[in-house]
Structure 1
Amino acid sequence: MKVLAIHGLPTSPRLWERLQLPEGWELVAPMVPGLGDDGTDESWTLSGCVEQLAPLAAEADILVGHDLGGVLTAMLASPGQSVVLSGTALGHYWSAIRLTSLPSVHRFFYERHGGRRFLSRGGLPEHSGSLLEAFGDHGPGWPGRMRIIARNMRPPPNLAARLRSCGVRLAWGRSDPWYPPRVAKAVQRTTGGHLHWLECGHFAPWERPREFVAVLTGEALLR
């Protein structure tokens, strides 16, 4: 089984490094275009990312997406393909995110914190140190790059409904402060997916890797 795992912001492919899949399973975890060392172009778009990731998605049996990566996963999924989502939103939430890129507020969201507050407060307290160590430094210019991405977060309409033709599972942190239970239930309702609660915050693959793998492989459905 081949799994394509797509991270979000402000993490990296390291988000998946704690997952230990069963023998015979292969995990492919690329860098989301525009989030790596090559920088973020002013013209960055979700559709541009999808175009670059589409060949990998076509070869995968299961697509997994976290946060921004969940949006990309939903855009990439084909009818009948298995999808696992974690800590993401597929609706009007992203309109609010675009507002954070406005000149009057972007300094608070990006210049002041650069994603570090999102990391330190997103997981359970015992994980804040490891999250900051792994994902807290993206190099110079990172706040501006985050603002570019926020400004261009324009998912296509009816994205969640498109996933009704897929087998959707949700692996969600019960204590996720950024995408709380009401968001998880909304995604479950609109996608028709199976919701699995994990005892963690926003970064479920990092905080609860064994439980996350159980959802990914379908083992949790048998319990």
Structure 2
Amino acid sequence: MPHSAKKIYLIHGWAANRHVFDDFIPRLPHDWDIHAPNLPGHGDAPLDEPFDIAAVADRYAAQIGEPAHILGWSLGGLVALYLAARHPEKVKSLCLTASFAKFTAAPDYPEGLSNSALAKMVGAFQQDYAKHIKQFLQLQLLNTQNADTVLHKVLPDLIRHGVPQALQSALDAVNRADARPFLAQIRQPVLLVFGQKDAITPPRMGEYLRRHLSDSRLHLMEKAAHAPFLSHAGEFADVYQTFVEAV
């Protein structure tokens, strides 16, 4: 199958927008057809109603013609899971990075977080989005030699639209969501990429997905945190390209 047939959708995470992929996209084959939409209420995308993960998945499915390879980061990975479960005919493969089936811990789900720091970040982002998103990304890039170059590439466009409108609404949706009941329905090949140093979505969340998605494999990046496609972009792009080419 030639390169040109590869249609890719990159779905960003909470509190960011599509420009978080600006350093990653050029590392992928230039003849791939790559789309990076903004989630509702993020970047310049309006928020018409409270953030609803299933509704976002349905909206993206309506935009996808031929089956596509979907890569989702964090909240974007959750949207990708809903997309694959609700519209399997639109999804050729999934890549979930630093993502989860359920974010919050439950008695039958110790893999989740019982005390997430994200709620505190809402106030910080609302107070000074540019400052705090930069600090957040700097933390993710601690073990990256060219951290300043990466920040210079993604930050100006990332902060251009100011604080995301959907900040609280999308976080509420994350805290309510539970994709566990439909993981067994997902039959597409799944690549799971997690950072060993990720405190927001620890590797155990990836292990859970690996156990419950029938055609999945887990790639752990030793020194990566919550944004491996930024901190270890070259390795991530190589692993992802190999995965997509084999589907």
TM norm. shorter chain > 0.5: yes
Mark the CA change 1:92 to 1:175 in structure 2 (over 3 Å): closer, same or farther: closer
Partner SS for 1:37: coil
Q: Answer whether contact 1:122 1:177 (CA < 8 A) is retained.
A: no
Aligned pair partner of 2:226 in 183, 189, 202 = 202
Superposed displacement of residue 141, structure 1: 5.5
Determine the structure 1 residue equivalent to 2:236: 212
Aligned pair partner of 1:185 in 207, 231, 234 = 207
Determine the structure 2 residue equivalent to 1:112: 124
1: CA distance between counterparts of 2:52 and 2:200? 23
Partner SS for 1:59: coil
Mark the CA change 1:113 to 1:16 in structure 2 (over 3 Å): closer, same or farther: closer
Does residue 43 of structure 2 align to residue 36 of structure 1? yes
1: CA distance between counterparts of 2:166 and 2:93? 31
Aligned pair partner of 2:192 in 153, 156, 170 = 170
Partner SS for 2:102: coil
1: CA distance between counterparts of 2:64 and 2:182? 17
Determine the structure 2 residue equivalent to 1:9: 14
Does residue 139 of structure 2 align to residue 121 of structure 1? yes
Superposed displacement of residue 42, structure 1: 4.8
Q: Percent identity?
A: 21
Determine the structure 2 residue equivalent to 1:150: 171
1: CA distance between counterparts of 2:199 and 2:142? 10
Give the stretch that moved more between structures: 64-73 or 114-123: 114-123
Q: Answer whether contact 2:40 2:166 (CA < 8 A) is retained.
A: no
Code of the residue aligned with 1:5 in structure 2: it is: L
Corresponding residue pairs, total: 216
Partner SS for 2:9: strand
Determine the structure 2 residue equivalent to 1:82: 93
Does residue 60 of structure 2 align to residue 53 of structure 1? yes
Alignment gaps of 5+ in structure 2 = 1-5, 107-111, 127-131
Superposed displacement of residue 68, structure 1: 0.6
Determine the structure 2 residue equivalent to 1:161: 184
2: CA distance between counterparts of 1:168 and 1:151? 26
Superposed displacement of residue 176, structure 1: 1.7
Superposed displacement of residue 67, structure 1: 0.5
Mark the CA change 1:187 to 1:123 in structure 2 (over 3 Å): closer, same or farther: farther
Q: How do residues 89-108 of structure 1 correspond to structure 2 at under 5 angstroms?
A: 89-93=100-104, 106=119, 108=120
- Superposed CA deviations along residues 127-174 of structure 1, whole A, max 9, x for unmatched, are 4882883577365554x73112112334354243332x1100112222
Partner SS for 2:235: helix
2: CA distance between counterparts of 1:94 and 1:136? 30
Code of the residue aligned with 1:149 in structure 2: it is: A
Partner SS for 1:169: strand
2: CA distance between counterparts of 1:26 and 1:38? 21
**Structure 1 length as normaliser, TM-score?**
0.78
Mark the CA change 1:58 to 1:71 in structure 2 (over 3 Å): closer, same or farther: farther
Give the stretch that moved more between structures: 59-68 or 149-158: 149-158
- Superposed CA deviations along residues 56-78 of structure 1, whole A, max 9, x for unmatched, are 34434311100110011111121
Alignment gaps of 5+ in structure 1 = none
**Structure 2 length as normaliser, TM-score?**
0.71
Superposed displacement of residue 219, structure 1: 5.5
Q: Answer whether contact 2:17 2:158 (CA < 8 A) is retained.
A: no
